[in-house]
Amino acid sequence: MSCPITRNLQKPPPSSSSSTIPLLSSLTSLSLSPHITMGFTASDKPLKFLIYGRTGWIGGLLGKLCDSQGIDYVYGSGRLENRTSLEADLDSVNPTHVFNAAGVTGRPNVDWCESHKVETIRTNVVGTLTLADLCRTKGLVLINYATGCIFEYDSEHQLGSGVGFKEEDIPNFIGSFYSKTKAMVSDLQFH
């Protein structure tokens, strides 16, 4: 079962960037932040981003955005479920911020996750939490690309009403295993 709200959306080809702005707003807005200006943090420490998901759609776009804004970045080579490999990345890169655009999304689509539950849990749950734990331990900001596929329209959020879900809302859709793993982490991130 696909995502109830975005099931009709198609991932644009890699060359298209116009429809990516909302997804990547946390990065594109950095230059407007009071704490971070182009290429530097408030303490004048040069930005250095560690990005996971080099081969993926969002991860690839993040690299291009960094290139266009002159932000130094390195793609992580570790695997999310392998804590030692993530620690090695953090130690060698010494980033100011970490972006997690790595996740199991399924091939050819999220239905793959229904028959590959262990792989999906290891990356989307264990892996994401492991990276979050390491970043917390090291006092690093982690920007995690989660998903909107944990919400479905209901009486308070009707299609076309303009009333959307907020990041802190409790997920109301776990009808696919992919969504279920994402909802688990979403639940935990506010604790």
Ligand X SMILES: NC(=O)c1ccc[n+]([C@@H]2O[C@H](COP(=O)([O-])OP(=O)(O)OC[C@H]3O[C@@H](n4cnc5c(N)ncnc54)[C@H](OP(=O)(O)O)[C@@H]3O)[C@@H](O)[C@H]2O)c1
Give the binding site for ligand X (CB under 6 A).
11, 52-59, 79-81, 101-105, 123, 127, 145-148
Smallest separation, CB 67 to ligand X (Å): 17
Between 147 and 176, CB nearer to ligand X = 147
Smallest separation, CB 128 to ligand X (Å): 8
For the record, the structure tokens of 152 come out as 């479905």
Smallest separation, CB 168 to ligand X (Å): 17
Smallest separation, CB 76 to ligand X (Å): 7
CB-based contacts of 9-12 (< 8 A; 24+ apart in sequence): 11/57
Convert the chain into a string of H (helix), E (strand) and C (coil): CCCCCCCCCCCCCCCCCHHHCCCCHHHHCHHHCCCEECCEECCCCECEEEEECCCCHHHHHHHHHHHHHCCEEEECCCCCCCHHHHHHHHHHHCCCEEEECCCCCCCCCHHHHHHCHHHHHHHHHHHHHHHHHHHHHCCCEEEECCCCCCCCCECCECCCCCCCCCCCCCCCCCCCHHHHHHHHHHHHCCC
Between 39 and 79, CB nearer to ligand X = 79
Smallest separation, CB 68 to ligand X (Å): 18
End-to-end CA distance of the chain: 29
Between 42 and 133, CB nearer to ligand X = 133
Between 71 and 122, CB nearer to ligand X = 122
Between 57 and 153, CB nearer to ligand X = 57
Between 19 and 40, CB nearer to ligand X = 19
Smallest separation, CB 103 to ligand X (Å): 2
